């Protein structure tokens, strides 16, 4: 793609997405020329085809590197440069803010729809990277949990890592969540944010910022951050802030990481929350034990059926939930139960805190309070109530807000490791989720399916497993039938007869969807 064509395509992309008005075309073109250090331009002839942003930016980046404008060609340097290019298409912050609140008068959803689209169109959220994330759901006795293998964060090359170590340390911006990131050009040890726009909001009578995460682990994954660089702290004011936001955007939930190491999030130095337009498994989980708290008989309360200690409180009046949340927090901060190995503090170090999540559910407001404890021992130096070393090959990072709610964000290395494990295996033991069994069928792996029981799911896995069993693709062992002997016998039988299962899957008449779709396209073309 010639450079002039790429410039035209980028400007056309801006017009197509609404980042630019038609009257901005020449101005935007000249801005791009400046970034590329070009002093002339000739408009390409012919109609502009459908624009691929990724291809267009790649062409401009390649040109910049060939001409020496882009000194280094690693992913860090390309990200810094293409963000400058995207800024040539961007409206001023005041324009974005004005349009957001104008649409808010129509509805909160209209405002967030506009802002979320802009955050993607601007390439602040890199759609083509996020689309690479592996995502699936799995049935458990606690509901349908979300799992993602994070592939959207680019891996830094050694040159960039070395340069970042040598780069001058700066206190501006103080961190990745500070408002000063808006429009910041970035450096090798700090991402570019030229194309970033922030919506100012007021919570708890103070100035905060509203933005989206560039990595969007779930739909409309947003971040709400304090306008002042101040450490995270869970207190009464935290609950006030959560509900102030939910009142502004009732279609969003908002939660906070805990405020202690190990059980907290990755950035504890800047007070912030995470939210979005998504319903996690924890929010769907039922109350398994109701209770009343003295003085709060008007508030619905109960223990949630969840693998963590979660109290759910519900009321049409959020002020009552704030008051109750403060009472629970104070009680938990000072709670010690030596028999259960729960200590409020040791040697002056506090251990108890809360991960809170607020939402509106119909006419009711809800506040989930997840009790956390970060105590360590010599045996478990990374936390007694944290995944232990035997699980660190899967994930070692802190279990923060997102994981608490039922989304496991796994490291990118697992993609290759999973593929290697599949390739090395003679047989596979698995649940019977749709994704899992399709992968097993595609790879022709003899398998023993143990479907989630009907008591713990909708029964989909049982139907999946029996379907594969009838076709000779799988052995099935019901969860209720599992003993040491039945499991060992099933594995032995599967291994001895593994070739018959491979043959059945190889001879399957199941439609190859890729071949079918491409065949249909070819048929249509040939009929033209």
Instruction: Assess if residue 347 is contained within a domain.
Output: yes
Q: Which CATH number goes with the domain that contains 240?
A: 3.30.428
How far lies 55's CA from each of 6, 31, 66, 142, in Å? 9, 20, 16, 43
Rg (CA), the chain: 27
- pLDDT higher than 70, residue 487: yes
Return the pLDDT at 414: 83
Banded model confidence at residue 99, pLDDT cuts 50, 70, 90: very high
How many domains does the structure of the chain reveal?
3
How far lies 16's CA from each of 53, 54, 243, 332, in Å? 11, 15, 37, 53
Q: Which residue has the tokens 């961007």?
A: 90
Return the pLDDT at 394: 83
Return the pLDDT at 517: 66
Which of 95, 127, 159 is the last residue in one of the domains?
127
CB 224 within 8 A of CB 212: no
Residues 110 and 183 in one domain: no
| Cis peptide bond N-terminal to 173, omega within 30 | yes
Q: Which CATH number goes with the domain that contains 504?
A: 3.40.50.2000
The arithmetic mean of pLDDT across residues 159-177, rounded, is: 75
CB 211 within 8 A of CB 306: no
Return the pLDDT at 510: 60
pTM: 0.82
Strand 447-449 relative to strand 474-476, pairing: parallel
Residues 140 and 122 in one domain: no
Q: For residues 107 and 249, give the distance between their C-alpha atoms in angstroms, rounded to a whole number.
A: 9
- pLDDT higher than 70, residue 333: yes
Residues 120 and 133 in one domain: no
Residues 109 and 140 in one domain: no
Residues 153 and 115 in one domain: no
Mean pLDDT of the chain: 91
The arithmetic mean of pLDDT across residues 57-77, rounded, is: 95
Instruction: Assess if residue 518 is contained within a domain.
Output: no
Residues 481 and 400 in one domain: no
Alpha carbon of residue 279 to chain centroid: 13
Q: For residues 382 and 389, give the distance between their C-alpha atoms in angstroms, rounded to a whole number.
A: 8
Instruction: Assess if residue 519 is contained within a domain.
Output: no
Residues 121 and 250 in one domain: no
Closest by CA to 338, choosing from 351, 357, 325, 323, is 351
Return the pLDDT at 229: 95
> H helices of 68-206, where?
75-87, 93-106, 108-121, 127-130, 158-166
What is the percentage of the chain residues whose pLDDT exceeds 90?
A: 73
Which of 376, 410, 444 is the last residue in one of the domains?
410
Which of 127, 144, 170 is the last residue in one of the domains?
127
Tens digit of each residue's pLDDT (9 = 90 or more) over 373-428:
999 999 999 899 988 888 888 887 778 899 999 999 888 888 878 777 788 899 99
Instruction: Assess if residue 418 is contained within a domain.
Output: no
Residues 145 and 123 in one domain: no
Phi and psi angles of residue 359, each rounded to the nearest 5 degrees, phi first? -160, 165
Banded model confidence at residue 61, pLDDT cuts 50, 70, 90: very high
Instruction: Assess if residue 206 is contained within a domain.
Output: yes
Residues 168 and 312 in one domain: yes
Residues 272 and 175 in one domain: yes
Domain range for 485: 425-513
Instruction: Assess if residue 522 is contained within a domain.
Output: no
Q: Which residues contact 9 (CB under 8 A, 6 or more apart)?
A: 1, 48, 51, 56
Residues 157 and 271 in one domain: yes
HSE-up (13 A, CA, CB side) for residue 26? 1
Q: For residues 104 and 112, give the distance between their C-alpha atoms in angstroms, rounded to a whole number.
A: 8
CB 249 within 8 A of CB 273: no
Closest by CA to 196, choosing from 212, 208, 173, is 212
Closest by CA to 366, choosing from 288, 248, 225, 255, is 255
Residue 173 or 134, more confident: 173
Residues 460 and 403 in one domain: no
Strand-pairing partners, residue 445, are none
């Amino acid at each position: 793609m010639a450079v002039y064509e790429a410039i035209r395509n980028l400007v056309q992309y801006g017009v197509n997405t609404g980042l630019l008005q038609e009257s901005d075309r020449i101005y935007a073109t000249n801005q791009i020329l400046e970034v590329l250090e070009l002093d002339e331009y000739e408009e390409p002839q012919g109609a502009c085809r459908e624009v691929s942003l990724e291809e267009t930016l790649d062409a401009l980046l390649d040109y910049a590197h060939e001409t020496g404008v882009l000194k280094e060609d690693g992913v860090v340097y390309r990200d810094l440069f293409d963000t400058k290019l995207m800024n040539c298409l961007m409206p001023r912050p005041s324009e974005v803010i004005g349009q957001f609140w104008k649409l808010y008068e129509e509805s909160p959803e209209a405002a967030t729809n506009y802002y979320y689209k802009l955050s993607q169109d601007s390439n602040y959220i890199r759609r083509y990277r996020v689309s690479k994330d592996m995502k699936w759901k799995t049935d458990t006795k606690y509901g349908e949990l979300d799992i993602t293998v994070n592939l959207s964060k680019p891996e830094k090359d050694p040159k960039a890592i070395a340069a970042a170590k040598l780069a001058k340390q700066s206190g501006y911006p103080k961190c990745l969540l500070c408002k000063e990131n808006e429009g910041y050009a970035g450096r090798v040890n700090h991402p570019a944010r030229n194309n970033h726009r922030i919506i100012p909001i007021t919570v708890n009578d103070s100035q905060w910022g509203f933005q989206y995460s560039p990595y969007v682990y779930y739909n409309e994954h947003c971040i709400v951050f304090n306008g002042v660089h101040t450490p995270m702290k869970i207190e009464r004011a935290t609950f006030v802030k959560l509900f102030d936001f939910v009142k502004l955007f009732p279609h969003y939930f908002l939660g906070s990481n805990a405020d202690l190491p190990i059980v907290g999030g990755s950035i504890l130095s800047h007070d912030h929350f995470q939210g979005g337009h998504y319903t996690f498994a924890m929010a769907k989980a039922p109350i398994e034990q109701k209770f009343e708290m003295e003085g709060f008989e008007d508030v619905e309360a109960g223990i949630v059926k969840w693998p963590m200690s979660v109290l759910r409180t519900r009321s049409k009046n959020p002020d009552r939930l704030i008051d109750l949340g403060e009472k629970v927090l104070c009680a938990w901060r000072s709670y010690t139960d030596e028999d259960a190995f729960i200590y409020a503090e040791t040697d002056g170090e506090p251990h108890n805190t809360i991960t809170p999540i607020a939402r509106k559910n119909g006419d009711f407001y809800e506040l989930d309070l997840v009790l956390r404890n970060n105590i360590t021992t010599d045996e478990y130096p990374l936390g007694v109530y944290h995944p232990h070393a035997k699980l660190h090959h899967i994930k070692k990072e802190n279990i923060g807000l997102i994981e608490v709610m039922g989304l496991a964000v796994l490291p990118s290395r697992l993609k290759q490791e999973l593929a290697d494990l599949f390739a090395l295996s003679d047989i596979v033991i698995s649940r019977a989720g749709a994704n899992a069994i399709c992968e097993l069928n595609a790879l022709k792996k003899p398998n023993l399916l143990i479907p989630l029981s009907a008591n713990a799911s909708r029964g989909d896995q049982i139907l999946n497993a029996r379907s594969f069993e009838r076709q000779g693709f799988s052995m099935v062992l019901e969860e209720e039938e599992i003993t040491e002997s039945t499991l060992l016998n099933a594995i032995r039988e599967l291994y001895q007869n593994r070739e018959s299962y491979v043959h059945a899957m190889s001879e399957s008449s199941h439609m190859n969807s890729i071949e079918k779709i491409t065949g249909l396209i070819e048929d249509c073309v040939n009929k033209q």
